[in-house]
């Protein structure tokens, strides 16, 4: 089916993939909403950081990657994991602390990784994953491998020294890495406009001599297009790009956040820009999805999460014997 | 056998491994044509080129992190930090990332990297370029910590460190770089976690590492003149620690002095002393365990003060005599 002229979709993304991305965004949404519910009920311990409202930036930045390509993620990383191909069941099992989880219950929400499909891991240290992504890109360059590394971080991370050091390294070595800053306006409670004095985080790219691109982080099509250009640039050996995805997290920073630092009006303004709703409209307008099909996909995503919960609940707990395994290789 | 310096032994270990394995490379500040802050990589860029002798900006956190990321994806990087004090700047990457990745990921992946760095005082470089912070890293599960005291040990331990699939902090002592020892030309490996008895004795054990080993040997030589027989045990690696050799020696002599250059308070000597106290050697102790370490101050610039900060040969002699009640 031909796309309408108003919709600039990425030519490299098939219609099946476009539809699957719609499913993926719902899986991300439902996963984090379910986690939110479980935390509220005290069914999961520890802490978590939810990416509800940020589905498009994760799914869009990963849409053109394959299993050889890598990502590094953040404390707010469930969406990135799903976008990179992780399955909800093993993720939920990890949050339940079960042996079937991606980290056998030892990592939890902030450390989910799946090296087999190129997910180099979430990270509990703000900006901690940025140098890792650069190292991954360095491997690709030194070994002559074709993969790219997409490095996710938030607006807050760009005030860390690690960001500066790592982006500079990637730039001077022309490394195949795409820096994706999800600017959701707040580093915990710190407003990006109070904590930085630049109009766009993307402007910071100039300091490293690399392109800085602003993307609508709530528009998966814009995210795909801009990621596509950055990936092409990286693969052709021209070096890194900094993409700033303007977005918003609907929930608080972590499980205990009264959100005193922002208004309900602001939240509602952003909820009106719901990335899933917008993508649904794009797909329907382009004739790729019907209302019925969209609803079917939404329901199947919900079912996927329900199944994931069942899998997690029925999975075994680790034993104390597992405490000291895997400290060293 | 051929005699070369500690510094040459380290360079030889690096070069031999790099000739064999394309995945091994070095990254660090001024390691290219300059040859590194202490000249260890001198001449290597000419042989291996700028890709594998990778000169970096002054970005310790970035370099360490890039090494972790490249180790995780299939390389075997070696980071050179100009001074071990600078591990403070690279610490997030070593303590929070390198050390924990395998465990946090449930046993998937590994981080085969070595962070080489010169430690210790004695060069007049003052408070920020003279520290011995090995206890910081030895405290962190997931890291291994090596402290060679001779060129021979440095070469064999470095080979083992590069071959190891875990992140290894490899300390080189600045004032030992110029010391000579017999070092075989061919490659060899000294397993991590194997102490060396540097001198056999029967009356008192000195457990010492890095620069404290030659000092302990000198003290032992002096004490021999007075009829005191000292055994010097060099653990060589702090993590893993060869407890067995230490316990065996102390069980034999019944007296022990634990000595290092690092500040005594919170130093790794406390760990060694506690390990002995908790072990079967406790029943054989004829005197309290004696600990020697650096003074509880930053390292001063003035040469006399700098010397006074760190245990010297007379301090070791005194400590041995105290354990024998002969002070």
pLDDT at B84 over 90: yes
> pLDDT value at position B327?
62
Chain B within 8 Å of A176 (Cβ-Cβ)? no
CB contact under 8 A, A135 and B65: yes
Give residue B310's Cα distance to chain centre.
16
Q: Which two tokens stand for residue A239?
A: 């070096």
Q: Which residues in chain A have Cβ-Cβ distances shorter than 8 Å to B111?
A: 329
Q: Which residues in chain A have Cβ-Cβ distances shorter than 8 Å to B69?
A: 72, 120, 131-139
pLDDT at B120 over 70: yes
pLDDT tens by residue, B152-170: 999 999 999 999 999 999 9
CB contact under 8 A, A143 and B75: yes
Enumerate chain B positions whose Cβ falls within 8 A of a Cβ in A.
25, 51, 56-57, 59, 61-75, 77, 92-93, 96-97, 101-112, 141-142, 144, 165-166
pTM: 0.96
Mean pLDDT of B239-248: 98
pLDDT at B181 over 80: yes
Q: Splitting chain A (329 residues) into consecutive groups of 10 residues, what average pLDDT does each group show?
A: 52 90 98 95 92 98 97 98 98 98 97 97 97 98 98 98 98 98 96 96 98 98 96 97 98 89 96 97 94 98 98 98 97
Q: Which residues in chain B have Cβ-Cβ distances shorter than 8 Å to A136?
A: 69-70, 72-73
Catalytic residue, chosen from B110, B129, B139, B260, is: B129
Mean pLDDT of B265-287: 98
Sequence-ordered alpha helix ranges (H) in A264-290: 264-271, 275-285
Q: Judging by beta carbons within 10 Å of its beta carbon (0-12, 13-18, 19+), is residue A80 exposed, middle or buried? A: buried
Alpha carbon of B106: minimum distance to chain A alpha carbons (Å): 4
> pLDDT value at position B113?
98
DSSP E strands in A12-91: the ranges are: 70-72
Residues A284, A6: Cα–Cα separation, whole Å: 13
CB contact under 8 A, A132 and B65: yes
Residues B211, B208: Cα–Cα separation, whole Å: 8
CB pairs under 8 A between A and B: 142
**Does residue B173 carry a catalytic annotation?**
no
Residues A185, A201: Cα–Cα separation, whole Å: 11
Q: Which residues in chain A have Cβ-Cβ distances shorter than 8 Å to B97?
A: 123, 125, 128, 132
- Mutate which of A100, A105, A165, A175 to test chain B, going by most B C-beta atoms within 10 A? A165
- The fraction of chain B above a pLDDT of 70, given in percent, is 100
DSSP calls for B241-298: --HHHHHHHHHHHS-EEEEEEEESTT-HHHHHHHHHHHSGGGGG-SS--EEEEE-SSP
> pLDDT value at position A1?
42
Residue with tokens 């917008």: A278
Task: State the number of CA atoms in the 13 A half-sphere of B159 facing the CB.
Answer: 19
- Of A107, A131, A325, which has the smallest distance from its Cβ to B65's Cβ? A131
**Can you tell me whether residue A111 is helix, strand or coil?**
helix
> pLDDT value at position A9?
72
The CATH code of the domain at A17-314 is: 3.40.50.970
CB contact under 8 A, A135 and B141: no
Chain A residue at shortest CA distance from B76: A139
Alpha carbon of B164: minimum distance to chain A alpha carbons (Å): 8
Q: Which two tokens stand for residue A156?
A: 């807050």
Domains, chain B, with CATH or none = 3-182 (3.40.50.970), 196-323 (3.40.50.920)
CB contact under 8 A, A107 and B66: no
Alpha carbon of A325: minimum distance to chain B alpha carbons (Å): 8
């Amino acid at each position: 089916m031909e796309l309408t002229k108003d919709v600039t979709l990425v030519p490299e993304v098939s219609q099946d993939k476009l539809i699957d991305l719609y499913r993926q965004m719902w899986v991300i949404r439902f996963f984090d909403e379910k986690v939110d519910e479980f935390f509220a009920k005290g069914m999961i311990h520890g802490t978590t950081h939810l990416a509800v409202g940020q589905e498009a930036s994760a799914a869009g930045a990963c849409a053109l990657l394959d299993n050889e390509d890598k990502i590094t993620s953040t404390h707010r990383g469930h969406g990135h994991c799903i976008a990179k191909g992780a399955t909800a069941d093993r993720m939920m099992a990890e949050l339940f602390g079960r042996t079937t989880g991606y980290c056998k219950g030892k990592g939890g929400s902030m450390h989910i990784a799946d090296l087999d499909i190129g997910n180099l891991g979430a990270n509990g240290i703000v900006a901690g994953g940025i140098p890792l992504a650069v190292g991954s890109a360095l491997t690709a360059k030194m070994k002559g491998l074709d993969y790219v590394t997409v490095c996710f971080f938030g607006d807050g991370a760009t005030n860390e020294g690690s960001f500066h050091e790592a982006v500079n390294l990637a730039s001077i070595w022309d490394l195949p890495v795409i820096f994706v800053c999800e600017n959701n306006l707040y580093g915990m409670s710190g407003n990006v406009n109070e904590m930085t004095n630049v109009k766009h985080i993307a402007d910071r790219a100039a300091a490293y001599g690399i392109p800085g691109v602003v993307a609508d982080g709530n528009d998966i099509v814009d995210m795909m297009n801009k990621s596509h250009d950055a990936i092409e640039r990286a693969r052709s050996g021209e070096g890194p790009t900094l993409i700033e995805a303007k977005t918003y997290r609907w929930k608080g920073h972590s499980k205990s956040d009264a959100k005193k630092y922002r208004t309900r009006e602001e939240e509602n303004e952003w909820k009106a820009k719901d990335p899933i709703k917008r993508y649904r409209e794009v797909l329907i307008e382009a004739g790729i999805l019907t209302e019925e099909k969209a609803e079917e996909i939404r329901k199947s995503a919900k079912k996927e999460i329900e199944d994931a919960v069942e899998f997690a609940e029925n999975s075994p707990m680790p034993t104390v014997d597992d405490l000291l395994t895997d400290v060293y290789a | 056998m051929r005699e070369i310096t500690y510094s040459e032994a380290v360079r030889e270990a690096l070069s031999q491994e790099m000739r064999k394995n394309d995945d091994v490379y070095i990254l660090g500040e001024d390691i290219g044509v300059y040859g590194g802050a202490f000249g260890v990589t001198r001449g290597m860029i000419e042989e291996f080129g700028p890709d594998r002798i990778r000169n970096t900006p002054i970005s310790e956190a970035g370099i360490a992190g890039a090494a972790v990321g490249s180790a995780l994806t299939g390389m075997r990087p070696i980071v050179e930090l100009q001074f071990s004090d600078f591990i403070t700047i690279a610490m997030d990457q070593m303590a929070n990332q390198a050390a924990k990745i395998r465990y946090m990921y449930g046993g998937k992946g590994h981080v085969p990297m070595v962070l080489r760095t010169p430690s210790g005082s004695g060069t007049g470089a003052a408070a920020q370029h003279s520290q011995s912070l090995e206890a910081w890293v030895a405290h962190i599960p997931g890291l291994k910590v090596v402290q060679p005291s001779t060129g021979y040990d440095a070469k064999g331990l470095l080979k083992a460190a590069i071959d190891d699939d875990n992140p290894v902090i490899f300390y080189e002592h600045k004032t030992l770089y110029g010391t000579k020892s017999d070092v075989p030309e061919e490659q060899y490996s000294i397993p991590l976690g194997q102490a060396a008895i540097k001198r056999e004795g029967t009356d008192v054990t000195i457990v010492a590492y890095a620069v404290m080993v030659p000092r302990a040997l000198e003290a032992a030589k002096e004490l021999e003149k007075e009829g005191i027989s000292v055994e010097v045990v060099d653990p060589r690696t702090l993590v893993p620690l060869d407890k067995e050799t230490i316990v065996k020696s102390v069980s034999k002599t019944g007296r022990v002095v634990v000595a290092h250059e690092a500040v005594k308070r919170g130093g790794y000597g406390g760990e060694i002393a506690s390990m002995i106290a908790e072990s079967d050697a406790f029943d054989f102790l004829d005197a309290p365990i004696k600990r020697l370490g650096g003074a509880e101050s930053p390292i001063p610039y003035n040469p006399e003060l700098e010397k006074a900060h760190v245990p010297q040969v007379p301090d070791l002699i005194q400590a041995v005599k105290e354990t024998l009640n002969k002070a």
